[in-house]
Chain A
Amino acid sequence: DAKTTQPNSMESNEEEPVHLPCNHSTISGTDYIHWYRQLPSQGPEYVIHGLTSNVNNRMASLAIAEDRKSSTLILHRATLRDAAVYYCILSDPNSGYALNFGKGTSLLVTP
């Protein structure tokens, strides 16, 4: 399975942008890049996903490097409610697109 590497933790001030990095140097051409987050005592929540092109939705933006070996989740304006563990996950057709969660990045947002 292709693996991802994320920082254990990051900190941001409220109302500032946050860039959460993810390295996936062994990504294959058919792997999708997914981002999920898990707020305390809740189930994981879908944030965004992409294959090759950058993606935007109401929650965040996903910037994918040209070689696809890294990606960055961008929260444009962090709020206290964005404090969560953020997971960068690769899914591939050979494993039935199963999502295998790693340790993720714990994001702390301070007022």
Chain B
Amino acid sequence: DTAVSQTPKYLVTQMGNDKSIKCEQNLGHDTMYWYKQDSKKFLKIMFSYNNKELIINETVPNRFSPKSPDKAHLNLHINSLELGDSAVYFCASSQERRLGYTFGSGTRLTVV
């Protein structure tokens, strides 16, 4: 299936740990994104990469570091996890930024 896939789907971890979420798209898109949806259901863009180059970097703690090894992958690494990092993280991709995005199904991160 052509899609945006994220792993893991669920992630429960303790405060202070470091974790990564992986994202892969096989749609041939050249731009990928990370979004965070908090408990109030607001979706906020965190990062965007175009052909492995960072083009959007919103006000996000520097504990969050995106890494794009190639244009089909955009991983999110989070250091020193905090309780407030608990949220659903969505990866997305688009062919041209002005056109429609395809979102993954999300990774629910719970920090305890």
Residues of B within 8 A of A (CB): 4, 33, 35, 41-45, 48, 55-56, 90, 92, 97-106
CB distance from B14 to the nearest CB of A (A): 25
A98 touching B100 in the complex, CB below 8 Å, given contacts A43-B90, A44-B90? no
Bitwise interface map of A from 29 to 51 toward B, beta carbon under 8 Å scored 1, else 0: 00010101010001111100100
State in angstroms the CA–CA spacing of A38 and B104 once bound together.
12
Query: Which of chain A's residues has its CB closest to B108's CB?
Result: A41
Main secondary structure of the interface of B (DSSP, over half): strand
A101 touching B98 in the complex, CB below 8 Å, given contacts A44-B103, A96-B55? no
Whether A43 pairs with B104 at a CB distance below 8 angstroms is: yes
CB distance from A51 to the nearest CB of B (A): 9
State in angstroms the CA–CA spacing of A103 and B106 once bound together.
18
A-B contact count (CB 8 A): 50
Whether A97 pairs with B43 at a CB distance below 8 angstroms is: no
A46 touching B102 in the complex, CB below 8 Å, given contacts A96-B55, A96-B97, A97-B97? yes
The residues of A that contact B42 with a CB separation of less than 8 Å are 101, 103
Whether A96 pairs with B43 at a CB distance below 8 angstroms is: no
Query: Which of chain A's residues has its CB closest to B58's CB?
Result: A98
The residues of A that contact B92 with a CB separation of less than 8 Å are 43-44
State in angstroms the CA–CA spacing of A100 and B103 once bound together.
14
Tell whether A84 is near chain B: CB-to-CB under 8 Å. Answer: no
The residues of A that contact B48 with a CB separation of less than 8 Å are 96, 98
The listed residue (B4, B41, B45, B98) touching A100 by CB distance below 8 A is B45
Whether B101 pairs with A42 at a CB distance below 8 angstroms is: no
The listed residue (B98, B102, B103, B106) touching A93 by CB distance below 8 A is B98
Tell whether A22 is near chain B: CB-to-CB under 8 Å. Answer: no
